[in-house]
Structures are given as structure tokens and as C-alpha cells.
Amino acid sequence: MRPDADCRLCGLCEGRTNIVLPDGDASSGIVFVGEAPGENEDLEGRPFVGRSGKILDGMMQDAGISRSDVLITNTVKCRPPGNRDPTPDEMHACRAFLESEIVGAKLVIGLGKSACRDLMGFDGKMSEIVNRITTIRVGEVDVRFLPTYHPAATIYNKVSREELRRTMAIVREEMG
Ligand code: URA
């Protein structure tokens, strides 16, 4: 399920250049969910192509995961102004698209606080849940969910960088 090309379900439509749709292999069963498109993503119309994307790509590569072998998406498909966090209302407006992307997945990886808030309803410290696989309810079905740090949160923090590396090792193992 995709948004209409002229989607106006929330106010983020006002400032966007492109709707940023999921990228990669939708049949892989492995879905990485980020927060929201940033400036580069908005311009290119692809998720995780800017600074965070370079970190994500590098960590995947180091773990032996090819970006084209997984699906990469965001909680909202349009860039929030000034890269602020998406609001609960904006995430709610985009929720049906996200659900259609993750329903039936083998493993969903939540990259950072916004994704974990949206999908797990968790609003505490990431250190309390990082790399602990849990189950979330998506429509009528349970989906396995792996919470972890957002790539941007690993830039100046060695602990979160090591945790994100561990996430990639878990994902690689799940992929078989
Ligand atoms: N940060 C995100 O959460 N998603 C992107 O697509 C880019 C940066």
C-alpha cells in the first residue's frame, strides 16, 4: 500500500519535495524502519541516502548484509520541517503504509526512538530495550521486532555504535 502521489493525509505534504517510499526487497522479510526522511532523502526520494544512510550502509556491509537484500523504510514518508521528530499525528496518518510494509515480516528492526515509540509504544531509554527481540501487534498478526539505535545516534557514541553493530550481527544471523 502506497500513498497517493499527491498525498495530503498530514501537514508534512506542505514542505516536501518527494514522498520517500521504501527501498530494497519487500519480499525479504527483513525491514529496517527509520524515523523520517531528511534533506537528502527528500531531494532524492529514497530513504537513508544522506549521512545516516552512509553509516547504515557501512554497518550492513561490515556484517555481510547487502542493502538490496532488505527493505528500508521510515515511520513517515515525508520530511518534517527542519528535521524535527515526526509528531504522533503525523505517524498515525502514515501508519497504514508502514503496517503494509511490515505485516508478515520475519523481523522488523526499529532504528531509534521514533520508530520504537511508533511501533512498540515505548517511550523510555533505548538502553533498556536495545537488541532485545520482542513482539509487536500489526493489525491482526504478531511481528518480531528488534529495537536499536538510530545510525545518527552512533556518530559520537561508542556504546550505541557497538550496539548497532550487534544489531547487524543479529540480523545477519536471522537472514541465514
Ligand atoms: N534518518 C531517517 O530516520 N530516515 C532516513 O531516511 C534518513 C535519515
Per-residue pLDDT tens over the stretch 125-145: 999 999 999 999 999 999 999
Residue 104's pLDDT is 96
Instruction: Enumerate residues lining ligand 1, CB below 6 A.
Output: 34-38, 41, 47-48, 50, 52-53, 74
Give 156-160's long-range contacts (Cβ < 8 A, gap of 24+). 160/126, 160/130
Domain 11-175 superfamily per CATH: Uracil-DNA glycosylase-like domain (3.40.470.10)
The segments of the chain whose pLDDT lies below 50 read none
59 Cα–ligand 1 center, Å = 15
Residue 163's pLDDT is 98
77 Cα–ligand 1 center, Å = 10
Ligand 1 atom at minimum distance from 114 CA: 3
Distance CA 91, CA 84 (A): 13
pLDDT single digits (tens) 77-103: 999 999 999 999 999 999 999 999 999
Distance CA 50, CA 56 (A): 10
Residue 2's pLDDT is 97
Residue 90's pLDDT is 98
Is residue 113 classed as helix, strand or coil in its secondary structure? Answer: helix
Residue 170's pLDDT is 98
175 Cα–ligand 1 center, Å = 23
Residue to substitute in 16, 39, 74, 116 for testing ligand 1 pocket (most ligand atoms within 8 angstroms of CB): 74
Ligand 1 atom at minimum distance from 115 CA: 3
Q: What are phi and psi of 5, to 5 degrees?
A: -60, -30
Residue 131's pLDDT is 98
Residue 89's pLDDT is 98
Ligand 1 atom at minimum distance from 40 CA: 7
Distance CA 41, CA 47 (A): 5
Neighbours of 164 (CB within 10 A): 25
Residue 167's pLDDT is 98
Q: What residue spans define the domains of the chain?
A: 11-175
Grid coordinates representing 99? 503496517
